[in-house]
A = this chain, B = another copy of it.
Amino acid sequence: MKGSPALLTDQYELTMIGAALRDGTAHRPCVFEAFARRLPHGRRYGVVAGTGRLLEMIMDFRFRADEVAWLQEQGIVDAEAAQWLTAYRFTGDIDGYAEGELFFPGSPILTVSGTFAECVVLETLILSVLNHDAAVAAAAARMVTAARGRPIIEMGSRRTHEEAAVAAARAAYLAGFASTSNLAAGLRHGVPTAGTAAHAFTLLHDDEPTAFASQLAASGTQTTMLVDTYDISQGIRNAIAAAGPGLRAIRIDSGDLSVLAAQSRALLDELGAPDVKIVVSGDLDEYAIAALAAEPVDAYGAGTAVVVGSGAPTAGLVYKLVEVAGRPVVKRSENKATVGGRKTAVRRHKPTGTATEEIVFVRSAPTPEPGDRTLSRPLIRAGALVDGLPTLEESREHLRAALVSIPWEGLKLSVGDPAIPVTVLTT
């Protein structure tokens, strides 16, 4: 039912290729860049996310015969363009920020070099993957900061497109979430999975003690019991009566979570179950998580807010042609502060390790100073993945370290400016 990634493309890319093949410009060497003109309102950083799965899809980006036939039948491409599409594979170079790197307005996070035609055809796929995954990762990173070390389980699959859910689980894990409820994310991306029971399981049984006994018989005491189907206090009593004080955790999914967490902790302690952990869930975003910081909560479940980017469902990345045959180009009709020419970037740091600014070099090699970290790195060379690209675990660690390096104001949840400025050097 699903096709190749090649049709996840806007039609105008192919009509442009058709015209450019006729007039010969299709083969001009070009450089395209993906960057954000601005961050979503009030956000202090963006997170590069999706690179790993994007690069895989670029390697798989082939037009199938039936797809090309359909395009020709529809009059979208002519015979010459159809032939070109059939033979297509990306043979150019891609450089970019590491997955898990932070970005700011103007950061050149992905640079694609090759012929016009081979680069422009990737536009939609590149932007779809990065805009989605970066939006989720940025929201997730803010939640991880708000959780102050307590683990967060991603459980938002049901609130977003079924395939977006898998990518969202991956992006949330990249950003420091502990696990996901999404099984495909476990199998495809190695994200740890979690999940025990829903209210339906309790309702299915004749009463709550029977449901809990059944869960225990199947999973043992290293399970989480959902205690708010009927009365929460009674639910906790039933859970401890069934499992004893060795139960791993209870989960509360509704009501005033601050009050309920404190009451539940007191009750568990009173029942002689001080080691039973408390998991809370139910429409948690970064602000709700921050508000629970002082409560006796051991783990959070986050759903809707993380998968829809907590108010910023897309990262606002664009993909622009910046160089044609060695000449910088730029759209000039409006006030968008875009600079033509291929760019590379370094991040400057104090001796203490705190980042101070990002320097973007236009059409010149970076001249790093002590404490500079080069951000742009090779990802694809002559159509092949470079060796040693980071794993998802390594990207996760990269982001953790990058977040530690920005000034502390950059981690505040409140509306503010980008954590560090980006300086563009055009000389």
A164 contacts across to B, CB distance below 8 A? 132, 160-161, 163-164
Q: Is there an interface contact between A199 and B67, defined as CB atoms closer than 8 Å?
A: no
A321 contacts across to B, CB distance below 8 A? 199-200, 203-204
Tell me if A147 counts as interface (CB < 8 A to partner B).
no
Q: Contacting A313 at CB < 8 Å: which of B15, B60, B308, B333?
A: B308
Tell me if A11 counts as interface (CB < 8 A to partner B).
yes
Q: Is there an interface contact between A308 and B304, defined as CB atoms closer than 8 Å?
A: no
Q: Is there an interface contact between A230 and B333, defined as CB atoms closer than 8 Å?
A: yes
A162 contacts across to B, CB distance below 8 A? 5, 8, 57, 124-125, 128-129, 132, 163
Tell me if A231 counts as interface (CB < 8 A to partner B).
yes
Q: Contacting A333 at CB < 8 Å: which of B23, B124, B194, B254?
A: B254
Q: Is there an interface contact between B19 and A332, defined as CB atoms closer than 8 Å?
A: no
A336 contacts across to B, CB distance below 8 A? 254
Q: Which of A98-106, A214-222, A363-371, A411-419 contacts B (4 or more CB under 8 A)?
A: A214-222
**Shortest beta-carbon distance from A339 to chain B in Å:** 14
For chain A, residues 148 to 201, give those with C-beta under 8 angstroms from any C-beta of chain B: 155, 157-167, 181-184, 186-188, 193-201
Distance between Cα atoms of A254 and B335 in the complex (Å): 9
> A156's closest neighbor in chain B, by CB?
B314
Tell me if A143 counts as interface (CB < 8 A to partner B).
no
This chain: copies in complex: 2
Distance between Cα atoms of A301 and B163 in the complex (Å): 25
**Shortest beta-carbon distance from A281 to chain B in Å:** 11
**Shortest beta-carbon distance from A134 to chain B in Å:** 11
Q: Contacting A331 at CB < 8 Å: which of B1, B3, B124, B199?
A: B199
> A307's closest neighbor in chain B, by CB?
B314
A324 contacts across to B, CB distance below 8 A? 203-204
Residue from A131, A232, A309 with most neighbouring chain B CB atoms (10 Å): A131
Q: Is there an interface contact between B155 and A16, defined as CB atoms closer than 8 Å?
A: no
Tell me if A127 counts as interface (CB < 8 A to partner B).
yes
Distance between Cα atoms of A329 and B132 in the complex (Å): 38
| Interface flags, A3-20, vs B, CB<8A=1, else 0 | 101011111111110111
Q: Is there an interface contact between A74 and B193, defined as CB atoms closer than 8 Å?
A: yes
Q: Is there an interface contact between B165 and A128, defined as CB atoms closer than 8 Å?
A: yes
Q: Contacting A218 at CB < 8 Å: which of B18, B204, B230, B235?
A: B18
A373 contacts across to B, CB distance below 8 A? none
Tell me if A357 counts as interface (CB < 8 A to partner B).
no
> A203's closest neighbor in chain B, by CB?
B329
Question: Could you write out 16 A-B pairs with CB less than 8 Å apart?
Answer: A1-B60, A1-B188, A2-B2, A11-B182, A16-B198, A20-B201, A23-B205, A74-B193, A116-B204, A131-B160, A163-B163, A203-B330, A203-B331, A229-B331, A230-B331, A254-B333
User: Apart from A15-B195, A163-B164, A255-B333, what are 6 other A-B pairs with CB-CB below 8 Å?
Assistant: A10-B183, A32-B200, A57-B162, A132-B164, A203-B331, A307-B314
